[in-house]
Amino acid sequence: MTAPVGRALSAYDEDVVRLFTLATVFWGVVGFLVGVVIAFQLAYPVLNLDLEWTSFGRLRPLHTSAVVFAFGGNALLGTSLYVVQRTCRTSLFGGPLLASFLFWGYQLFIVLAATGYVMGVTQSREYAEPEWYVDLWLTVVWVTYLVIFMGTLLKRKEPHIYVANWFYLAFIITIAM
């Protein structure tokens, strides 16, 4: 089978990068909309509708986590997977199946954390609110991310490791700590 005119077959796993890009946009819109809602709640407290799950105290961690982890995290995962493939001149380690697990696993982490916030199930620590079971799931997902990234670096066809990959690797290890 031949590739459509103007579109060459790619040796890279672009589907997962595309999914992370779409998730970045989606979670960015969600996070910023929640930010607008809580900004209006500060000016008009009646907007929390006297429901505990729509109160400022539960929506603020939802907003910060949606912007930091959902929007920012998806952007960083997507860009790192895009960059590592091109600078190493190889596809992702583990193939599309492991990359798909990384994507859907990270989205599940975001949803589990968000539902915990609105239900009031948190550790009450700024930027570390998710409960223990969500933390465990994130650990599984993050180790998968490290395996994919390191495996791709190890199977590279480029003799040198670009500095961007060192920074992404530092980011992966720093977040894990």
pLDDT band at 2 (very low <50, low <70, confident <90, very high): low
Specify the DSSP class assigned to residue 34: H
pLDDT band at 147 (very low <50, low <70, confident <90, very high): very high
pLDDT band at 130 (very low <50, low <70, confident <90, very high): confident
Distance CA 62, CA 167 (A): 28
pLDDT at 1 over 60: no
pLDDT one-digit tens code per residue, 46-82: 988 888 888 888 899 999 999 999 999 999 999 999 9
Distance CA 43, CA 21 (A): 33
For residues 169, 173, 68, 127, the Cα torsion angle rounded to the nearest 10 degrees is -170
Q: What pLDDT sits at residue 126?
A: 80
| 96's tokens | 């599309």
